[in-house]
Amino acid sequence: MHDLRTWTSDVHRTVDDTPYGGGPGMVMRPEPWGQALDAVGAGTLVVPSPVGKPFTQADAHELAALDHLIFACGRYEGIDQRVIDDAASRMPVREVSLGDYVLFGGEVAVIVIMEAVTRLLPGVLGNADSLTEESHAAGLLEAPVYTKPAAWRDREVPDILRSGDHGRIARWRRDQSLLRTAARRPDMMASYPPSSLDKADRKA
């Protein structure tokens, strides 16, 4: 963690200023950011932003494979664009959005990204199999999950899950994933490769 004010030189340790072109709020000054990024060295710079590329599980896997991640947490109306442009001349930069809503700053977004990335690192999750079954891993939403008791408030666990027939259970789960994804995330269905449907059919 680095305090951006470390790289200020005025008595008030100023990190923001008014936006060129007018408009509400303040913009983060380039000088402190430039010196801070120089100081932390090269890596892949991850910048949470409302205007970034939507962050996906695939992005989490890509970041988990990298040696050095640098997270830039902005505040106010954002960071002077020249900071991003200057950094991109020296290192990979990823501006990422967590969703179509606006936060106060990048800190919470960085916490979310760090959790999504670190849980993919070898040895972090107790059961690595969880990574292959979870939502978004196979391009679909996960099937519903159940545990004991078999009946709870007059609601029974689907019989198939108690049948011991693992082939039929796998098929049921895949079908439930497809139904759930089609209902809640038709955008994911659009990119779900039909070829893998054939493979799953063959497997089950």
Question: What does the binding site for ligand JCZ look like in residue numbers (CB under 6 A)?
Answer: 48-50, 74-76, 78, 97-99, 101-103, 105-106, 109
**Shortest spacing between CB 113 and ligand JCZ, in angstroms:** 10
For ligand JCZ, the closer CB: 32 or 48: 48
**Shortest spacing between CB 15 and ligand JCZ, in angstroms:** 12
**Shortest spacing between CB 16 and ligand JCZ, in angstroms:** 11
Helical spans, DSSP H, in the chain: 30-40, 57-64, 81-88, 107-118, 129-133, 166-184, 186-190, 194-203
* Helix, strand, coil abundance in the chain, percent, nearest 5: 40, 15, 45
**Shortest spacing between CB 105 and ligand JCZ, in angstroms:** 4
For ligand JCZ, the closer CB: 77 or 133: 77
Q: Dump strand ranges (E) for 55-165.
A: 69-71, 93-97, 151-152, 155-156
